């Protein structure tokens, strides 16, 4: 069974919550974790789950719609557009390396050695869903 993708909002982050949502949803769509035609959660449901205002989620959805990643239809909810661009494999690989480098840099700053870094990655892979 494939784990369902999840969204995380950090209210202490200086990035506004709507932008955090927009960025994560855009990444999920571009990484094909959300396929064309997939329905996004209803505004009120997602707002309740994240403890945010409905307007905050609505703004994130509007931004995604402006970027052509999703389309909204009255009564049909908000769905991933059929024309939503997905990342090519080369770009996917580049992003993976970038994230890995950033993590290793951060871990080194914390004083972790190679074994500790590998252990941390194993633990994270055991507890986190691929798309979360």
- CA–CA distance, 14 with 85 (Å, rounded to integer): 28
Total of residues contacting other proteins (CB under 8 A): 38
Q: Is 11 an interacting residue with respect to other proteins (CB under 8 A)?
A: yes
Q: Is 36 an interacting residue with respect to other proteins (CB under 8 A)?
A: no
Number of neighbours of residue 2 by Cβ within 10 angstroms: 8
> Angle 48-31-20 (CA atoms, 0-180°, nearest 5)?
40
- CA–CA distance, 30 with 34 (Å, rounded to integer): 8
Output 95 or 117, the one with its CB closest to other proteins: 117
Among positions 18, 26, 50, 63, the unique one binding other proteins when judged by CB under 8 A: 50
- CA–CA distance, 132 with 130 (Å, rounded to integer): 6
Among positions 15, 35, 66, 123, the unique one binding other proteins when judged by CB under 8 A: 123
**Would you tell me which residues interact with other proteins (CB under 8 A)?**
4-12, 25, 28, 34, 39-42, 44-46, 48-52, 77, 107, 110-112, 116-117, 119-120, 123-124, 127-128, 132
């Amino acid at each position: 069974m494939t784990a369902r993708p999840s969204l995380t909002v950090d209210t202490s982050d200086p990035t506004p919550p709507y932008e955090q949502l927009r960025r994560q949803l855009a990444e999920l769509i571009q990484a094909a974790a959300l396929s064309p035609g997939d329905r996004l959660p209803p505004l009120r449901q997602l707002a309740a789950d994240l403890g945010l205002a409905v307007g905050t989620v609505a703004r994130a959805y509007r931004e995604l719609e402006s970027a052509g990643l999703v389309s909204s239809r009255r009564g049909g909810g908000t769905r991933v557009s059929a024309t939503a661009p997905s990342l090519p494999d080369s770009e996917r690989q580049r992003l993976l390396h970038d994230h890995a480098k950033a993590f290793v840099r951060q871990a080194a700053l914390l004083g972790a050695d190679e074994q500790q870094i590998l252990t941390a990655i194993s633990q994270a892979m055991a507890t986190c869903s691929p798309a979360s």
